[in-house]
Amino acid sequence: MSSLSGKQGPRYRHIAGEADPYETIAVEKLTPIIGAEITGVDIGKLVSDESRSNRQMDEIHRALAENLVIFFRDQHITPQQHLAFGRKFGELHVHPAAPNEGDPALMKIYADKDSPRANGEGWHSDVSCDLEPPMGSILYIKQCPPRGGDTLFANMYAAYDALSDRMKTYLDGLTALHDGEQAYRGLYANYGVADRPSYPSAEHPVIRTHPVTARKALYVNRGFTRHIIGIPRDESDAMLAYLYQHAENPLFQCRFRWTENAIAFWDNRCAQHRAMWDYWPHTRSGTRVTVKGERPA
Ligand code: SIN
């Protein structure tokens, strides 16, 4: 783990500004850096009530932009309402490999005592191997283990900001290959899912600019990024190893403890996440709706 301490306090300093108050929701930050719990929203009602949804939707958009991942507890929604909530943020993305729960856009998230693995155990940004990777993912957990099964999130603006100016200059303009082949082939065999002939792969900037906030974010992850284009392979391996270690600094993270019927909505363009599979032999189960994004720039 790299140290971000200097002679005068932390080298990485997050300056939290005073935000305008919210009017239709309450926003309680988990850490100064990332994550906020939202109250005052009934998602089942929000998706069916067009007239009152706009103000609240604007504030949910704003809370996501300001906090990168937002959480809603005690939501009792049907699969159709989960899909409808996702559609309020854009067209839905269909996962290239994972099993679904009756609708191609409703991804199954499930692990129990017989599972060989759980979904999303390493740090990643969802499906970054797509040419247009998803902007956001909305995970609804219906069944929790008695303890464990948390999800960790990390702020990739903060990871970028904490790089030295020399490193920022070095990375500026570089692109990297993100490959689904290695990530997905055979991964869902335990659910009886047959492999596709091929999986997506795409080249993306190592540093991307968020289309809503215009902030720069580090955009390489252990799950999908294979190498940086145009530099020797050993240099790429060393650089990616450094960037992964840097991005995973706990200073940039929050950790969400699930309760049944909670929802996490994260922005894949500026946050990475990883799921903890520390609850075997217990069961954790839910569904994920994923919203399409744009080509990273
Ligand atoms: C995922 O990567 O979408 C799974 C996250 C989780 O199950 O907590």
Choosing from 124, 210, 226, 269, the catalytic residue is 124
Atom nearest to 139 CA in ligand 1: 3
Closest CA to 217 of 152, 150, 171, 281: 171
Flag the least confident range among 16-20, 31-35, 225-229, 259-263.
16-20
For the chain, the 3-state helix, strand and coil shares in percent, each to the nearest 5, are 25, 30, 50
Whether residue 19 has pLDDT greater than 80 = no
Atom nearest to 126 CA in ligand 1: 2
SS3 236: helix
Q: Which residue has the tokens 């970028």?
A: 160
Find the radius of gyration of the CA atoms of the chain.
19
- The average pLDDT across 143-170 equals 98
How does residue 264 score in pLDDT terms, banded at 50, 70 and 90? Answer: very high
Residues 161-216 have pLDDT tens digits of 999 999 999 999 999 999 999 999 999 998 889 999 999 999 999 999 999 999 99
Asked whether 119 lines ligand 1 (CB < 6 A), one says yes
The backbone torsions φ and ψ at residue 82, rounded to the nearest 5 degrees and listed phi first, read -65, -45
- The average pLDDT across 223-240 equals 98
DSSP structure string for 13-44: ----PPPPPPSSSEEEESSSSS-EEEES--HH
Closest CA to 34 of 202, 288, 273: 273
Whether residue 2 has pLDDT greater than 60 = no
Residues 26-84 have pLDDT tens digits of 999 999 999 999 999 999 999 987 765 588 999 999 999 999 999 999 999 999 999 99
Number of Cβ within 10 Å of residue 62's Cβ equals 16
Domains of the chain in start order, with CATH, are 25-52+63-270 (3.60.130.10)
Q: Is 273 a catalytic residue?
A: yes
Q: Exposed, middle or buried by CB within 10 Å (0-12, 13-18, 19+), for 116?
A: exposed
Q: Is 246 a catalytic residue?
A: no
Pairing between strand 36-39 and 69-72? parallel
Whether residue 266 has pLDDT greater than 60 = yes
Q: Is 49 a catalytic residue?
A: no
Whether residue 228 has pLDDT greater than 60 = yes
Helix (H) or strand (E) holding 210: none
The pLDDT > 70 percentage for the chain reads: 95
Choosing from 93, 95, 226, 288, the catalytic residue is 288
Q: What pLDDT score does 170 carry?
A: 98
How does residue 13 score in pLDDT terms, banded at 50, 70 and 90? Answer: confident
Q: What pLDDT score does 53 carry?
A: 55
SS3 234: helix
Whether residue 286 has pLDDT greater than 60 = yes
How does residue 3 score in pLDDT terms, banded at 50, 70 and 90? Answer: low
Contact in structure between 251 and 33 (CB atoms under 8 Å)? yes
Residue 287 half-sphere exposure toward CB, CA atoms < 13 A: 19
- The average pLDDT across 212-238 equals 98
Pairing between strand 69-72 and 262-267? antiparallel
